[in-house]
Structure 1
């Protein structure tokens, strides 16, 4: 059987969950079945974490004067670049990772290349596309992969066709914890023995519920809770508004630590619990990572978390009221909620790349 050539096209080659998942797959796929390449619309850190047998391409993102003129008169420089990439790589399939590369669907059809679209989004993010572009994507892609059942359900509701479920995944082999380093971080944050640390992780956006930090801090006042937020802190008015509110916070301490690449897993490890504040989240990788580190999970019913969290792993709250979530947080801190660490770790293991990759490869071989 000849190998199938797949060009994965991704937005930023960054550290978002959707792109980390692609990175794990690119390191572990079956070379006897597939040849994979990666084209990114912007250069990112993921490019430094790929095996040498995976060719990479970076589309133009800072247009020259000539490219700007070409674009103005109807020739998109990214289209021209992708035409050349296709001549060189000769992909059988273009794999659009997230909705961002959706604008490339007409080009793929023009070149006679089949298209797989991997949805990592729920409806709040559909507004990024024009209506017609969204309709074409969900009806004309040769295959759609949803990263959770709730994502697949939303696509079906919108009239999507040829949909397959392939859950998001992590690579457990990368979770390496040094207890001495964890202890040093606890000391640097002056975490006291009686304090209960809740960690969140994600971009500082409305979808991720970053603006709810002051509300959680106030509602937890008088408890032993501490809150740590990890992830990219965007310089915009929304974040500035939230940070100004936090300056006047009279509740529990909140530390917004930003991106912690080297110590990411150590910060997750020092936590006593994981709090998911997202308003929408398809199937967050950090949720799986928290379970792998045996942390109880508390969340709004924001999407894929309800598929993942089982009994004795934490609780998903069917309410958008911060007070209702805080009630559950208090139960966890008071040990009134049964938590089974082994069950959490075993559940996380079901979403390791070594398990999920066979499902992904099956879907791709069926095309």
Structure 2
């Protein structure tokens, strides 16, 4: 009989962690290894995608739960230690079910680890996709001890993530497994729309295109992407450079951008095209990928750029990306926050076609070991080590 696993996602938005989980679950389903159930703490555009994989349930909303826009439900939903009561936020359909393991995708879901442990009396895994800044924003007073103690194994997505869990939260290193993020290489390397059609759609021609991607928040450095456009124009007036950002644009950032872009005179240099279901169709038009993140544990967008042979320019000390691009093999590392140096490095790649192609080729070779088929097996090994396999 297949083992029953409950996967918990903090939401179903088209962002890094839910996308990684969705791809992993698709891969698991293909191999028909486990009996899967999915629990979402919050909804999002990927809700139906999760439903196509397995029965998917939503957490019940409770009175008094902090759901302010700033936190968006990321605060602790439970802070008590007693068993789950009939008014628990867990859907009634799950209450009496048996699960062999609970898998929490992101530390946000850690806020209900103890309650899940009590409810289902099984091992719990917490897959941490967050580093120092993100975790400090989520947990003002540190990780809740009773929820941490309920976790049997943490999965860290980079050495930087693992180090932060040990150094900042005193989690036993033996309790942490290092498993890098994954990309579905076969799928991502095959855009479904020709490059020429995308360029026509975006009304771009004969431009050198710099790509960026992610949510428009401080951590992803989207404001630095705007500064990058300024410095490129200053260093190379009358250029043919276009900057293209892929990802949902918040109303707050849009107001900030409209204000600043006019003053920096970069309105014609940048295009924000929103979130896309098939990002590979747009990544294919990039000549270079600019990772402006201030903090990114092991950025999925960098893996996706590398899959399409795009050289990556990134900041040092910004998370796990230096673990992917080592000694400038596949990209160029610049000092943290140094946008001027990033602009100079991008112009170097723009001016040297051979160097650009070489680094793009290096990136595509590096990425092979991060395919979902390889990373998926590593996660399954961890799951099977905690589950009693018949």
TM-score calculated relative to the size of structure 1: 0.87
- 1:119 aligns with 128
Q: Which of 126, 138, 142 pairs up with 2:152?
A: 142
Determine helix, strand or coil for the equivalent of 1:45. Answer: coil
Distance 1:53 1:344, change over 3 A: closer
Structure 2 residue 367 is the aligned partner of structure 1 residue 348: yes
Determine helix, strand or coil for the equivalent of 1:294. Answer: coil
Structure 2 residue 351 is the aligned partner of structure 1 residue 334: yes
- 2:242 aligns with 226
Give the C-alpha shift of residue 37 in structure 1. Answer: 1.3
Give the C-alpha shift of residue 21 in structure 1. Answer: 1.1
- CA contact 1:12–1:42 (8 Å) conserved in 2: yes
- 2:25 aligns with 26
Structure 2 residue 317 is the aligned partner of structure 1 residue 307: no
Output the CA distance in 1 between the equivalents of 2:186 and 2:324: 20
- CA contact 2:227–2:339 (8 Å) conserved in 1: yes
Aligned residues: 355
Distance 1:8 1:45, change over 3 A: same
- 2:56 aligns with 56
Output the CA distance in 2 between the equivalents of 1:132 and 1:192: 50
Output the CA distance in 1 between the equivalents of 2:149 and 2:99: 22
Q: Which moved more, 1:203-212 or 1:334-343?
A: 334-343
Distance 1:247 1:89, change over 3 A: farther
- 1:12 aligns with 11
Query: For structure 2, which runs of at least 5 residues remain unmatched after alignment?
Result: 65-76
Q: Which aligned pairs between 1:205-244 and structure 2 lie closer than 5 A? A: 205-221=217-233, 222=237, 223-236=239-252, 238-244=253-259
Determine helix, strand or coil for the equivalent of 1:198. Answer: strand
- 1:159 aligns with 170
Give the C-alpha shift of residue 87 in structure 1. Answer: 3.3
Distance 1:261 1:227, change over 3 A: same
- CA contact 1:139–1:160 (8 Å) conserved in 2: no
- 1:366 aligns with 385
Output the CA distance in 2 between the equivalents of 1:244 and 1:117: 41
- CA contact 2:214–2:220 (8 Å) conserved in 1: yes
- 2:287 aligns with 272
TM-score calculated relative to the size of structure 2: 0.82
Distance 1:202 1:258, change over 3 A: same
Output the CA distance in 2 between the equivalents of 1:260 and 1:199: 14
Q: Which of 278, 283, 287 pairs up with 2:298?
A: 283
Give the C-alpha shift of residue 179 in structure 1. Answer: 5.8
- 2:70 aligns with none
